[in-house]
Amino acid sequence: MNQDARATVAERLGDYIAATQDGNVPAEVRHQATRCLVDWLGLALAGSREPLGEMLLAVCDAMAGPPQATIVGRGRHRATDAALLNGAQAHALDFDDTIVAVHFHPTAPIMSAAVALAEWRGLGGAPLLTAYVVGLEVATRLAVALHDRLLDCGWHPTGVVGTVGAAAACARLLALDVAQAASALGIATSQAAGLRENFGTMTKPLHPGQAAASGLLAALLAARGYTAAATAFEGSAGFCRAFGSGEFDFDAALADLGTNRWALANAFKPYPCGVLSHAAIDAAIALHGAFRPEEIATVECQVSPTTATIVSKRAPRTGLEGKFRLTYCVAAGLCDGRVGVATFSDEAVARPAVRALEARVRVVADQRVGDDQAALRVEGPAGARRDLRIAAAKGSVGSPMSDGDLEAKYLDLARGVLAPEQAQRLLERAWRVGELADIGELLALAR
């Protein structure tokens, strides 16, 4: 990989995309990418039964083109439509993997784009995994370069950098050269979007869906010779000026490009809600039963300043809003001793007992607390008190989910969408994806 100091950011990233081959990706990183695929399949299956998926499918059906790729849990459609639907479905439950350091959900946008293209073009599992890793590295390093400016400006990182990551993955699958790959990324910069204000609505899952479709389109255009500005990232009117208010550090973000370190920083979710709530949920579940909910006088929840800001939706009126309300998640964990898909139904968030307890939960932002940490203090009758500190949330890099954990999660999500035997065969084939000569062998079982 030739990293000329005079090259633009797009050219440096394009060189990495063009130079990375299947043999460049270490076995542990390939296994992590396979874990991401297994998780993605379960989430896309479960998301296929969400109302937002039905609405998106109806719109795509009205403009249907030739069947090229699989919409998981449904049938075959145009490749860009499959990328759109799968990206949205995989994020519909807010149960997908997260690189917590940059608040980015990589697999929904990147895998959805790469799988659609690979199936359409008859490509195998090994290049799919390589492309996914490439897309994740490119997108995450852009998020690193922008620091927290994306969040501060109201952007959703998954929709913004996910678009560029999807383009990078598809550029790798299409074997674009350096100039074409750089153009694909430049084209993607003009399609990137996603506002945090839409958290707690159907539009949030649209962000990774649109990112997947836009990234695929960008790579296909670049393959035809479509051009973009060489300085699309660092230019005075470029990506980082627009999304990061001019504050970015590419030299640091790209210094060790090619080491694949960010794939191993990806974490999987045990709870279907904003990942920044997870440490507090761990604590609430652990303290369930210490006092009856009606006996609890106050609950103090210490979290990072970012957590206090991001998962702070107003008192939820819908299940979707509850996913981004830390106080609700804590109250539900204390009341129920569990947090799952059913926790975020409209009926669940309206329960009087949970609402009453939520009103007694106080959030305290503490700079000393990490984004995957929390401390909970629950005060009961007669001054009785229980304290618990979570050093690493379940599912985080510090307390990772095992392959067995991911299998159990997948099978639970696939239940009711696929017959048990078909779901099991799909799972077994997903674990062997790197051996498949045609990814269509996998997707045929996901329909």
Per residue in 53-63, pLDDT (tens digit) is 999 999 999 98
**Mean pLDDT, residues 184-193 taken together:** 98
**Same-domain pairing of 181 and 206:** yes
Which residues contact residue 106 at a Cβ distance below 8 angstroms, ignoring those fewer than 6 apart? Answer: 36, 97, 99, 135, 136, 139, 140, 158, 162, 165, 266
Q: Do 175 and 134 share a structural domain?
A: yes
Nearest alpha carbon to residue 222 among 141, 260, 166, 160: 166
395 domain-assigned: no
The mean of the pLDDT values for the chain is 94
pLDDT at 2: 60
Q: Please check whether residue 150 is in contact with residue 243, taking contact to mean a CB–CB distance below 8 angstroms.
A: yes
Same domain, 224 and 248: yes
pLDDT of residue 247: 73
Q: Tell whether 231 is covered by a domain.
A: yes
How many Å apart are CA 170 and CA 20, to the nearest integer? 13
Q: In the structure encoding, which two tokens stand for residue 288, read together?
A: 């369930």
Q: What was the pLDDT predicted at 122? A: 98
Tell me how many domains the chain contains: 2
Q: Which of 352, 368, 390 is the last residue of a domain?
A: 390
The residue from 390, 409, 429 where one domain ends is: 390
pLDDT of residue 73: 96
> Which residue reads 């609890």 in tokens?
296
Say yes or no to pLDDT of 3 above 70.
no
135 lies in the same domain as 198? yes
Do 170 and 298 lie in one domain? The reply is no
Say yes or no: 187 and 310 in one domain.
no
Q: Which runs of E-coded beta strand occur in 317-398? A: 361-365, 374-379, 385-390
* Distance (Å, whole) CA 129 – CA 32: 9
440 & 292 share domain: no
pLDDT, position 246: 72
Mean pLDDT across the stretch 96-103? 94
For residue 3, being part of any structural domain is answered with no
In terms of domains, do 230 and 370 share one?
no
Asked whether residue 24 is domain-assigned, the answer is yes
Q: Tell me: do 313 and 411 sit in the same domain.
A: no
> Residues 104-156: pLDDT tens digits?
999 999 999 999 999 999 999 999 999 999 999 999 999 999 988 888 899 99
- Could you tell me the pLDDT band of residue 260, with boundaries at 50, 70 and 90? confident
Please indicate, yes or no, whether residues 198 and 283 belong to a single structural domain of this protein: no
Amino acid at 390: I
Judge whether 1 lies within some domain.
no
CATH number at residue 165: 1.10.4100.10
- In a domain? residue 4: no
Encode pLDDT of 380-433 as tens digits. 998 899 999 999 999 999 999 999 999 999 999 999 899 999 999 999 999 999
The answer to whether the CB of 268 falls within 8 A of the CB of 156 is: no
Residues 13 and 146 occupy one common structural domain: yes
| Burial tier of 272 (Cβ tally within 10 Å: 0-12, 13-18, 19+) | buried
Q: Say yes or no: 217 and 319 in one domain.
A: no
Indicate whether 396 belongs to any domain. Answer: no
Range of the domain at 144: 9-268+401-446
Helix and strand element counts for the chain (H, E): 21, 6
Q: Is 2 domain-assigned?
A: no
Domain boundary among 368, 390, 412: 390
Query: What's the CATH code of the domain at 299?
Result: 3.30.1330.120
